[in-house]
Amino acid sequence: GESVGLHLPTLSVQEGDNSIINCAYSNSASDYFIWYKQESGKGPQFIIDIRSNMDKRQGQRVTVLLNKTVKHLSLQIAATQPGDSAVYFCAENILPGNTPLVFGKGTRLSVIA
Amino acid sequence: DAGITQSPRHKVTETGTPVTLRCHQTENHRYMYWYRQDPGHGLRLIHYSYGVKDTDKGEVSDGYSVSRSKTEDFLLTLESATSSQTSVYFCATKGVLNTEAFFGQGTRLTVV
């Protein structure tokens, strides 16, 4: 199926541990950020988003942290499971979102059972 | 996949031939995008559309053209395919009231 190639930063995590995936964004004017998950052979899927008026947002087992001072975004996955194995992308935009998302290069998360 | 269908899913073509990839959506989303995904580059924007007959170039538009004659269809054409256009192509859509984009399953194109 369709998938990202092999030349990605890789994070290997033991099942049950927490994962932290980092992303540096480029545009200081960006005020909206998304994390996408891409499983092998599939298109990217939305996980969680955050607006620049927040520095933390929690979902189910996932938390996104935003540090606008250093233009850094992180995705924390609690109690990582084998189904979390995928490539994770951050994306940035300027609201109201009439311009396209700009994506980072991605990080491959590999969960060790 | 928010009602987004890409066709074909796989294609092998020869250098110099024209190729058209189709993206069809059933969400009535205003915005549509074509990205390519390559090792080490992540997702790069080729072209996008603000609406019917309203398109613009992305960062890697050379060698590609697009058309959007109706809301639901966004076509990507490689005018004369080259080996450097071997890639996985993703279509995405976004509604006016959405902040996130929704992706299709992708098309793997190989130019030999």
Give the confidence band of B2 by pLDDT, cuts at 50, 70, 90.
Answer: low
Whether A35 contacts A74, CB under 8 Å: no
Q: Which amino acid, one-letter code, is at A19?
A: S
Look at residue A6 and tell me whether its pLDDT is greater than 80. no
Asked if the Cβ–Cβ distance from A43 to B98 is below 8 Å, we say no
Q: Which amino acid, one-letter code, is at A33?
A: F
Handedness of CA B29, B77, B47, A107 (dihedral sign): positive
Asked if the Cβ–Cβ distance from A89 to B98 is below 8 Å, we say no
With H, G, I as helix, E, B as strand and everything else as coil, classify residue A10. Answer: strand
Whether A49 contacts A37, CB under 8 Å: no
- What is the structure's pLDDT at B40? 78
Q: Does B2 touch chain A (CB under 8 A)?
A: no
Percent over 70 (pLDDT), chain B: 98
Q: Does B105 touch chain A (CB under 8 A)?
A: yes
Q: Could you give phi then psi for residue A17, rounded to 5 degrees?
A: -80, 170
| Per-residue pLDDT tens digits for A26-74 | 899 999 999 999 999 999 999 999 999 999 999 999 999 999 999 999 9
Query: In whole angstroms, what is the distance from residue B74 CA to residue A88 CA?
Result: 26
Query: In whole angstroms, what is the distance from residue A23 CA to residue A17 CA?
Result: 20
Q: What is the mean pLDDT of residues B52-74?
A: 97
**How wide is the angle at C-alpha B18 spanned by C-alphas B87 and B78, nearest 5°?**
45
Q: Does B57 touch chain A (CB under 8 A)?
A: no
Give B7's strand partners. B22
Look at residue A7 and tell me whether its pLDDT is greater than 90. no
Asked if the Cβ–Cβ distance from A6 to B39 is below 8 Å, we say yes
**Residue B17, min C-alpha distance to chain A (Å):** 22
| Per-residue pLDDT tens digits for A85-112 | 999 999 999 988 788 999 998 999 999 9
